[in-house]
Amino acid sequence: MAKTATVKNSSRPVTVARNVLIVLGVIDLVRGIMHTFVLNWAAENIARIAPHPDALMLLGVFGNSNLLTGALYLLVALKAREIAGYILGIIPVAYLVGVVGIRLNGVSMQSEFNGKYMMLVYFVVCIVTFVYFIAARRREIER
pLDDT value for 8: 53
Residues of the chain with pLDDT under 70: 1-10
Distance in angstroms (rounded) separating the CA atoms of residues 49 and 45: 9
Angle at 119 between CA 118 and CA 121, to 5 degrees: 65
Q: What percent of the chain has pLDDT over 90?
A: 66
Q: If we measure between CA atoms, which residue out of 57, 70, 68, 58 comes closest to residue 29?
A: 70
Distance in angstroms (rounded) separating the CA atoms of residues 18 and 81: 6
pLDDT value for 10: 66
